[in-house]
Structure 1
Amino acid sequence: MSTSIRFKLSFMMFLEFFIWGAWFVTLGTFLIQNLQAEPFQISNVFSTQSLGAIIAPFIIGMIADRYFNAERILAILHLVGAVLMFQMYKATDIATFYPYVLVYMILYMPTLALVNSVSFRQLTNPETQFSSIRVWGTIGWIIAGLAISFLFRWDSPEGAQEGALRNTFLMAGIASAVLGLFSFTLPKTPPIKVDSAEKPSFASIIGLDAIKLLKDRNFLIFFISSILICIPLAFYYSNANPFLVEIGLSNATGKMAIGQVSEAVFLLLLPVLFVRFGFKKTILIGMLAWVVRYLLFAYGNAGDLSFMLIIGIALHGICYDFFFVSGQIYTDSKAGVKYKSAAQGLITLATYGVGQLIGFWVAGFIGDKYQSIKETDVAAFWQQTWIVPAGIAFVVMILFMILFKNEKIESKTV
């Protein structure tokens, strides 16, 4: 792979995740401070990510993969996304904001698969080359958070008074326009020509062909656990930044970037740990990390116990990698050659689609239930809020520990 192509792919990844990190981390705080959104309104906005994840396979599998070059549709989606970001930047109420964010997420979620498609088509040895390209996405997300907190200070108390978080959409929109234009310079990635008889159906693309894997008791337990553990995950996405800002942790968005650093580190360590502990123990460690993280959030504070919050943020690598990445490895090993893609599609639909959709609704319900507490005691409100996902994660962990039978996993991914 030439230096020029490596640079283009790395810059593409950097911008792809810079865009997401530039507005999504602080979205909950923005909705509360700028649009005075209620808990259920906030959960509905975050649910657009899940709706986008459900619709994304149709856009990619049924349209992009058959009729258009991947880099061209990537360009068009990001250029349209830039316009939508500008509309979100100008929105003054939740009713105006919601349609734009819904359309944006429906268009953005497919780009996550498109950047991978463009990359893999250029790599001669994806197993060794892709990680060095993908890591620039994590760096992009981290840089976005650091810029918000330490460069522009949009999440500071002074920024809150000025409604400065609105600027995150402008920053993301500019980056989206840059990536849209830059995508036209990416290596040409035309659709792979196949016989009409071999073209996958929509059912196979979203993973329905892999439904038969659920006949395996262990895989069924893992599948259900994957959906349920996404409920606590949704609490983190929608509540973490508002929580840290409201209890007074300085530079909250920048400090949340510690989670992405942790994710990158544990991603590199996971193959070794997976072999050492095995699949079941690795998954259980990930689930336990969710429980510990939320208890740390529940009982930590921005003063003498702020270290508890930092540890909770740093646990993101274990929470995410040990469950979701290990789960992808497990799914790959169980599916067999014929159903590998379908099985991964099924798990993605179940987690990012159904699981998180339920999770965002539950988070909205809990936020609305305890809203009266928040009016008099913010710390007590957040303590009650975080205990709920901690309890859910604990129950899922116990059920998985009891019901899932240990088995040896062999996969080329490890």
Structure 2
Amino acid sequence: MTSAIRIKLSIMMFLEFFIWGAWFVTLGTYLLRNLSATGTQVGVAFLTQSIGAIVAPFIIGLIADRFFSAQKILGVLHLAGAFLLWRASTSPDFGSFYPNILTYMILYMPTLALVNSIAFRQMQNPQKEFAPIRVLGTLGWIVAGLTIGWLNWEQSGSLQATFLMAAGASALLGLFSFTLPATPPVKSGQQSSSLGDMLGLDAIGLLKNPSYLIFFLASIAICIPLAFYYGFTNPFLNEVGMKKAAGVQSLGQVSELLFMLLIPVFFSRLGVKKMLAIGMLAWVLRYVCFAYGNAESNYWMLIAGIVLHGICYDFFFVTGQIYTDNLAGERFKSSAQGFITLATYGVGMLIGTLLSGRIFDAYQTSPTAHDWRMIWLIPAGIAVVVLLLFLLLFKDGNQPQAEAASSSYDQAPSLAEAN
């Protein structure tokens, strides 16, 4: 991979996650304060992410793997997204806001798999090459959060501007995408053998590998507590009195950035099972810190809970993306990335957002206060159960990731046979 391609891929990752971080972190606070939404409505708004993630494999499998180059689809989706974000910023109430953000997330969520697919197609050794490029996405999220804090949009009631900032970045990435390395469809001209193949579900053959099946189910389950973090961390931190909460939350992405740079080292020493288990354990610790932290004597627990996000995300999601890419093989890289997006941000987050909104409303103690200890202990308990079941059921033979993925792939039925 040349330096020019590496730079382009890094810019792509930076903008991809800057756009998401620019409005998503403060969405709950914006809806509660500016649009007078209920906790259930906040959950419904975050549910749009899950709907988009469920649609993603169909868009990727039907279009990116078969008909059009991935970088061109990425450009079109982000240009359309820029318009929808602008429309969302002008919405006066939740009823008019929701259709815009729902349509936007249906278009945005497939781009998460597209940027991974574009990057992986340029790499000879993803275990070593992916993390240094993906880390620019984390930096983009950090810059978005710091910008919101620096401009004091939370305290001044100006969170509407976050959607305009995201719209501008989306338009920029939309145009920039057309300059990215050509990533043509790998199954162009082939005849579909089944409806599932046409809709991008050919990667479902991965589930015939017992280890991958356990990973897939764990991915769904662990995203249930993740929904609590995405939906209610920013309202929680603002309610307990943290200043410039969005900016402080970017410490989670700083941690994510640092750990991501170390992923190649962890892969070679720990193997996939330990990496995934450490990520899930960090989930438990994060929510316990939030449950017992406050803005006074236990302020350090709030910071610790935020900083643990780096381990939560890198050790589980980035590990899972590379694990999936290794098992999928060349022909199904786009479909496989869309498939794991469906499991995590789709099914898992769908369940989590529905649950978290109802729990938020159930533990409201006054119009402006909540029993946050109970709100956070519930996802902590869910994460404990997922971790214990994963440790009992997932087998990787204590091999390093590259060897484990290779041997698992050799033992699994081919995806062509699975269809």
Does 1:355 find its partner at 2:348? yes
2:116 and 2:337 in contact (8 A); partners too: no
CA distance in 2 between partners of 1:124 and 1:399 (Å): 34
Counterpart AA for 1:233: L
Does 1:172 find its partner at 2:166? yes
The Cα of 1:209 is off from its aligned counterpart by: 2.7
What residue in structure 1 maps to residue 61 of structure 2?
61
Does 1:322 find its partner at 2:315? yes
CA distance in 2 between partners of 1:393 and 1:145 (Å): 26
Counterpart AA for 1:365: R
Residue 253 to residue 58, structure 1, CA distance change in 2 (3 Å): same
The Cα of 1:18 is off from its aligned counterpart by: 0.9
What residue in structure 2 maps to residue 134 of structure 1?
134
What residue in structure 1 maps to residue 197 of structure 2?
201
What residue in structure 2 maps to residue 78 of structure 1?
78
SS of match in other structure, 1:66: coil
Residue 45 to residue 391, structure 1, CA distance change in 2 (3 Å): same
1:67 and 1:191 in contact (8 A); partners too: yes
- The C-alpha deviation readout for 1:148-199, integer Å capped at 9, x for no partner, is 002x11022xx1xxx3001000111111122222333334444346452478
What residue in structure 2 maps to residue 369 of structure 1?
362
- The TM-score, its normalising length taken from structure 2, stands at 0.86
Counterpart AA for 1:313: I
Counterpart AA for 2:249: M
What residue in structure 1 maps to residue 41 of structure 2?
41
1:203 and 1:209 in contact (8 A); partners too: no
- The TM-score, its normalising length taken from structure 1, stands at 0.87
Where do 1:224-239 residues align within 5 Å?
A: 224-239=217-232
Where do 1:12-411 residues align within 5 Å?
A: 12-122=12-122, 128-150=128-150, 152-156=151-155, 159=156, 163-192=157-186, 194-197=188-191, 201-202=197-198, 205=201, 207-213=203-209, 216=210, 218-328=211-321, 345-371=338-364, 373-375=365-367, 378=369, 381-404=371-394, 407-411=397-401
Residue 332 to residue 78, structure 1, CA distance change in 2 (3 Å): closer
Residue 9 to residue 395, structure 1, CA distance change in 2 (3 Å): closer
CA distance in 1 between partners of 2:81 and 2:36 (Å): 24
CA distance in 2 between partners of 1:390 and 1:362 (Å): 14
Give the aligned length.
402
Counterpart AA for 2:367: E
Residue 75 to residue 39, structure 1, CA distance change in 2 (3 Å): same
Bigger shift: residues 390-399 or 188-197: 188-197
Counterpart AA for 1:227: I
CA distance in 2 between partners of 1:53 and 1:206 (Å): 17
Residue 339 to residue 190, structure 1, CA distance change in 2 (3 Å): closer
Residue 188 to residue 194, structure 1, CA distance change in 2 (3 Å): closer
SS of match in other structure, 2:44: helix
Counterpart AA for 2:152: R
Residue 303 to residue 368, structure 1, CA distance change in 2 (3 Å): same
CA distance in 2 between partners of 1:172 and 1:339 (Å): 31
Alignment RMSD: 2.8
- The C-alpha deviation readout for 1:226-280, integer Å capped at 9, x for no partner, is 2221111111010111111111111111111111111122223334334444444
Unaligned runs of 5+ residues in structure 1 are none
The Cα of 1:398 is off from its aligned counterpart by: 2.8
Bigger shift: residues 117-126 or 95-104: 117-126
The Cα of 1:208 is off from its aligned counterpart by: 2.5
Unaligned runs of 5+ residues in structure 2 are 406-419
Counterpart AA for 2:372: W
CA distance in 2 between partners of 1:182 and 1:141 (Å): 18
1:51 and 1:357 in contact (8 A); partners too: yes
The Cα of 1:286 is off from its aligned counterpart by: 2.2
CA distance in 2 between partners of 1:227 and 1:265 (Å): 26
Residue 304 to residue 130, structure 1, CA distance change in 2 (3 Å): same
1:141 and 1:260 in contact (8 A); partners too: yes
Residue 344 to residue 13, structure 1, CA distance change in 2 (3 Å): closer
The Cα of 1:135 is off from its aligned counterpart by: 2.2
Bigger shift: residues 128-137 or 189-198: 189-198
The percentage of counterpart residues that share the same residue type is 58
Counterpart AA for 1:116: N
Bigger shift: residues 9-18 or 170-179: 9-18
CA distance in 1 between partners of 2:139 and 2:394 (Å): 36
CA distance in 1 between partners of 2:126 and 2:270 (Å): 26
1:206 and 1:346 in contact (8 A); partners too: no
